[in-house]
Amino acid sequence: MLSEVIAVPPLQRPARADVPADLTWDLTAIYATPEAWEADLGRLEQDTAAVAAFRGRLANGGPADLLGCLRASDALRERLVKVTSYASLHGSADGTDPRYQAWSARVGAAGARIAAATAFLETELLAVPDDVLAQAFAAEPALSAYRRQIEEIRDRRAHMLAPATEEALGVLSEALAAPAGIYRRAVAADLDFPTVRDEAGAEIQASVARLEGLMQSRDRAVRAQAAQARLEGLRRHRTTLAGLLAAMINRNVALARLRGYDSAEAMFLEPQHVPLTVYRSVLDVIHDEMAPHVRRLVGLRRRLNDIDTMRGYDLGAPLDPEFSPEATFAEGQGLIRAALAPLGEEYQVILADAFAHRWVDLAENQGKSHGAFCNTTYGVHSYVMMTWTNRMRNVFTLAHELGHAGHGMLAMRNQRIGDTRASRFFIEAPSTCNEMLLGRHILAGSADPRMRRWVGVQFLGTFLHNFVTHLLQGHLEHRLYALAEAGEPLTLAAIAGTQHEVYARFYGDTVAVDEGMSLDWMTVPHYYTGLYPFTYAAGLACGHAVAEAIGREGTPAAERWVATLKAGGTRPPLELMRMAGVDMTTAAPLRRAVAYFGELVGEVERAFLLDERD
């Protein structure tokens, strides 16, 4: 039997060692013991040497050398992924443990050495004449598995530097990645907040995740004190984290100029295979067309909660605070399996394995990363991190992350390691599609008006998360890069002021943007990964379109979708989306999704109006 999940831990969150094992993920599937991980970490040197042995032998385009080097590189990547995942997942489960911090540092150092030792692969592939490469493909059919990888490298030739410079950048890769690593450690271990009281008056230890939860309380006083505690904690580190973010952005601007890109955004969009026009369409179309609907929803939230002036901490005020359906983990499993049944037996087997073999980390403990994510470790399986509090909302979160897991597993089982991961532009489509399918399943099985209204509110939450929260993060990112490229210093005042302007432009006079909102950028890790936030909106637009198609067509649409997931990263994202029946080169899917959000707002408004009349 699954151990009981404690929804509201006491003042001191439990140490990781005190969490029942069945509420944690089982990382022994990667390595049975830390000693086994240590041994594989050591073997990376041999794998690196196996790749480096081909240095100087690729430029002549000999098919045997090309194939041998690429296969050795795959073997190196597979071991590095396992070694990195093991250290990273332990660190995510408890970022305060010095041992895991040391593991992450050692993996980072190993990655830097590998990058430096294998940088020749790209530079030598670029030197192979086109006709010689064509002859190699003709002579060695097994090279066809690497055609896309080779073509992508050669497509970047205009932005590749001299071999010595590329190798120098490889040597410096760990130092260049320092802002992101420092940020992760700071948020996990150093952000310290005052203790706060929950709705029952119990004093609890605050964390980023806990405070975000409290700012969705039905009690405005609880929301306000949580926001104040969050602000006090963030203030202590705002100068440091502003410096980190500025360093990351300025680093990227410098690298883009060094490589001859028009902008840092162009540099990040190229490997995502997203045209600048599509990127700007996602940012602008959704922003401008969502704003009126969101302002209407803010007005409804203000009225239902009897608020005079809406502040940042009121944006999460519940629309129906008296109704928060519960769900145990076992009940959540059943709902998810039933909702995703249209995706077929192969997908069901993945879900069954996830639940039976502890792919999911459920408990809250000291040092655990906030939020939720999925990590698919090639050659092993997927892992999901979240915190389960026995609420129905957890079921939607789990369905979302299992969307990533299903995608990762289907791709892993059908593609070599270099072709498993799709572009970020596509990556959120499988997860949001799962959320849509889950909500539709619950609606189909419930005649309870309140439950149906609650599902509508959950859909609103998904759209607000992807089409507002992350999209506005994308707008901030866009504006900060524009400032940096114009030579403007990214000071704390500049970053916080730009954040304020982004919110004020979107919400208009419906929300009083305060200091706490102006520091929201401090808790967003995506700024350290390069044009990630905007992809959430693109993924939801695609996921919404696919879920609608499955609802209309049934099996044919579901089979198209599963085939698309199996394709992994073998096609650019716009082609993958077309494979699933969605054309994201036009704004039509974006506008359909925004229109659906507007319909949801109208339905929820009418539902609450009827409730008031009753």
What residues does each domain of the chain span?
Answer: 31-176
Assigned token pair, 282: 């996602």
Please list, in sequence order, all residues whose beta carbon lies within 8 angstroms of the beta carbon of residue 366, skipping any fewer than 6 positions away: 12, 13, 14, 15, 16, 94, 96
Burial class (CB in 10 A: 0-12, 13-18, 19+), 538: buried
DSSP designation for 259: T
177: Cβ contacts below 8 Å, ≥ 6 apart: 108
Structure tokens at 58: 């690729």
182 token code pair: 């420092």
Predicted pLDDT at 6: 40
514 burial via Cβ count (<10 Å: 0-12, 13-18, 19+):
middle
The answer to whether 51 touches 124, Cβ cutoff 8 Å, is no
Task: Answer positive or negative: Cα dihedral of 350, 352, 355, 356.
Answer: negative
Asked if residue 250 lies in contact with residue 536, where contact means CB atoms within 8 angstroms, the answer is no
| pLDDT for 190 | 66
How many Å separate Cα 390 from the centre of its chain? 23
HSE, CB side, 13 Å, CA atoms: give it for residue 99. Answer: 7
CB contact at 8 A, 233 and 194? yes
CA 257 from chain centre, in angstroms, equals: 27
Tell me, what amino acid is at 15? A
pLDDT value of position 492: 97
* Matching CATH number, 31-176, of 3.90.550.10, 1.20.140.70, 2.60.40.1930, 3.40.630.40: 1.20.140.70
Block mean pLDDT (10 aa), the chain, length 614: 45 82 96 98 98 92 93 98 97 92 93 90 88 93 94 87 81 83 73 84 82 89 94 93 95 96 96 94 97 96 94 92 90 98 98 98 88 94 95 95 98 96 95 97 93 93 95 97 97 98 98 96 91 95 98 97 97 97 97 96 88 55
Q: What angle do CA 46, 49, 55 make, to 5 degrees?
A: 165
The radius of gyration of the chain's CA atoms, rounded to the nearest angstrom, is 24
- d(CA 517, CA 519) in angstroms, rounded, equals 5
Under 8 Å between Cβ of 455 and 436: no
Instruction: Indicate the residue type of 359.
Output: W
Are the beta carbons of 461 and 320 closer than 8 angstroms?
A: no
| CA pair distance 21, 383, nearest whole angstrom | 15
Cα angle: 307, vertex 311, 312; to 5 degrees:
135
Contacts of residue 66, Cβ cutoff 8 Å, sequence gap at least 6: 58, 136, 140, 143, 146
Residue 512 has phi, psi (to 5 degrees) of -85, 105
Q: Are the beta carbons of 207 and 141 closer than 8 angstroms?
A: no
Burial of 565 (0-12, 13-18, 19+ CB in 10 A): buried
